[in-house]
Amino acid sequence: MNHETIRRTLAQRAGGDADANAVAKAAISTWHEASARLSPVIGGQGIDVLLRRSLHVAGKTFPALPEPTHEARNNVLLANLQMRLAACETALAVEASNALLVTFTELMSSLIGESLTEHLLAPIWAPSLPASDQKGAP
């Protein structure tokens, strides 16, 4: 997966002059979409494991990311992640969110292969059409 594609997608989802809160919301919504697309392939527990591992690995570089505990359920981890990202400076929230999603896709690729990962997640990373182009679409 192209790292720049992930970065561009997060920026697009967060909006033009996004603050850390918008970046956090964009990261969480992207995570939920990826989870929904991958759950049929690796199951809910597989998604849980990948979230925890991604947080652990990316958290080594970005301590602002929450360290996953075995007791915390994923919805609690995601709420904590959103809160912590929103509390960061915007640039740090962007970098940490990007690192988390890049780590996640790399782990997923190592699990099921790059081709299948790209196929399953392609709709998430595909750029949306500008509003002016959407009006003319059939």
| Local confidence pLDDT in tens for the 138 residues of the chain | 578 888 899 999 998 778 999 999 999 999 999 999 999 999 988 888 899 999 999 999 999 898 887 766 777 888 999 999 999 999 999 999 999 999 999 999 999 999 999 999 999 985 654 544 444 444
Cα atoms in the 13 Å half-sphere on the side-chain side of 3: 10
The two tokens of residue 63 are 């301590």
- By the 8 A CB rule, do 133 and 42 touch? no
How far is the C-alpha of 18 from the C-alpha of 49, rounded, in Å? 30
